Structure 1
Amino acid sequence: MTVPLDRIPLAEHADVYASLAGAGFTDLWSSEVNGADAFTPLALAAAWQPGLRLGTAVAPVFTRGPALLAMSAAALAEAAPGRFALGLGASSPVVVQGWNATPYVEPFRRTRDVLRFLRAALAGETVDEAYPTFTVGRFTLDRPPAVPPPLLLAALRPGMLRLAGAEADGVILNWLAAGDVPQALAQVQPSRPGFEVVARIFVCPTEDVAHARALGRRLIAGYLTIGAYAEFHRWLGRAEQLGPMWRAWAAGDRRGAAAAVPDELVDELVLHGSPQRCREQVARYVAAGVRVPVLAVLPTPELVAGGAAALADLVTRLGPPDGAGSAPAGQPA
Structure 2
Amino acid sequence: MKIGLQLGYWGAQPPTRAQELVDAAEAAGFDAVFAAESWGSDAFTPLAWWGSGTERVRLGTSVAQLSARTPTSCAMHALTLDHLSGGRAILGLGVSGPQVVEGWYGQPFAKPLARTREYVSIVRQVLAREAPVVNPGPHYPLPYDGPGSTGLGKPLKPITHPLRADIPIWLGAEGPKNVAMTAEIADGWLAIYYSPRLAPLYDKWLDEGFARAGARRSRDDFEIAATCQVIVTDDTAAAVAALKPVTALYVGGMGAPELNFHAQVYSRMGYEREVEEIGRLFRDGRKDEAAAVVPDEMVTETMIIGDADEVRAGVRRWEDAGVTMLLVNCHDADQVRQIVDIVR
Q: What is the TM-score when the length of structure 1 is the normalising length?
A: 0.83
Shift of 1:94: 3.1
Q: Bigger CA drift: 211-220 or 200-209? A: 200-209
Give 1:196's aligned residue.
Answer: 223
Give 2:82's aligned residue.
Answer: 77
> What pairs with 1:96-107 in structure 2 (closer than 5 Å)?
96-107=101-112
* Distance across 2 between alignment mates of 1:296 and 1:272: 13
Q: Bigger CA drift: 180-189 or 250-259? A: 250-259
- Please list the CA deviations of residues 170-228 of structure 1 after superposition, one character each: whole Å capped at 9, or x if unmatched: 21110122222332232012331522111111234444445423332211111123311
Q: Bigger CA drift: 229-238 or 64-73? A: 229-238
Structure 1: any 5+ residue segments left out of the alignment? Answer: 300-310, 323-332
The reply on whether 1:253 has 2:271 as its aligned counterpart is no
Give 1:154's aligned residue.
Answer: 172
| One-letter amino acid matched to 1:172 | L
Q: Residues 103 and 206 from structure 1, CA distance in 2 versus in 1: closer, same or farther, beyond 3 angstroms?
A: farther
* Distance across 1 between alignment mates of 2:108 and 2:76: 22
Q: Bigger CA drift: 285-294 or 100-109? A: 100-109
* Distance across 2 between alignment mates of 1:6 and 1:222: 16
Give 1:131's aligned residue.
Answer: 137
Give 1:142's aligned residue.
Answer: 159
> What pairs with 1:165-314 in structure 2 (closer than 5 Å)?
165-189=183-207, 190=210, 191=215, 192-193=217-218, 194-209=221-236, 211-225=238-252, 226=255, 227-274=260-307, 277-297=310-330, 311-314=332-335
* Distance across 1 between alignment mates of 2:37 and 2:185: 23
* Distance across 1 between alignment mates of 2:309 and 2:39: 31
Structure 2: any 5+ residue segments left out of the alignment? Answer: 144-154
Give 2:62's aligned residue.
Answer: 57
Q: Bigger CA drift: 96-105 or 84-93? A: 96-105
Task: Find the residue that maps to 1:130 and give its secondary structure.
Answer: coil
Shift of 1:114: 0.7
Give 1:32's aligned residue.
Answer: 37
Task: Find the residue that maps to 1:74 and give its secondary structure.
Answer: helix
Task: Find the residue that maps to 1:126 and give its secondary structure.
Answer: coil
- Please list the CA deviations of residues 54-83 of structure 1 after superposition, one character each: whole Å capped at 9, or x if unmatched: 211111111112221111011011122332
Task: Find the residue that maps to 1:199 and give its secondary structure.
Answer: strand
- Please list the CA deviations of residues 66-116 of structure 1 after superposition, one character each: whole Å capped at 9, or x if unmatched: 221111011011122332211111112233233333332322222121111
Shift of 1:278: 3.6
Give 1:308's aligned residue.
Answer: none
Shift of 1:11: 7.8
Percent sequence identity over aligned pairs: 29
Preserved CA contact (<8 Å) 1:276 1:317: no
Q: Residues 274 and 86 from structure 1, CA distance in 2 versus in 1: closer, same or farther, beyond 3 angstroms?
A: same
* Distance across 1 between alignment mates of 2:179 and 2:342: 33
Shift of 1:10: 6.3
* Distance across 2 between alignment mates of 1:73 and 1:198: 19
* Distance across 2 between alignment mates of 1:135 and 1:214: 49
Preserved CA contact (<8 Å) 1:157 1:235: no
Q: Residues 41 and 279 from structure 1, CA distance in 2 versus in 1: closer, same or farther, beyond 3 angstroms?
A: farther
- Please list the CA deviations of residues 9-34 of structure 1 after superposition, one character each: whole Å capped at 9, or x if unmatched: 56864443222122221211222124
Shift of 1:260: 0.9
CA RMSD of aligned residues (A): 2.7
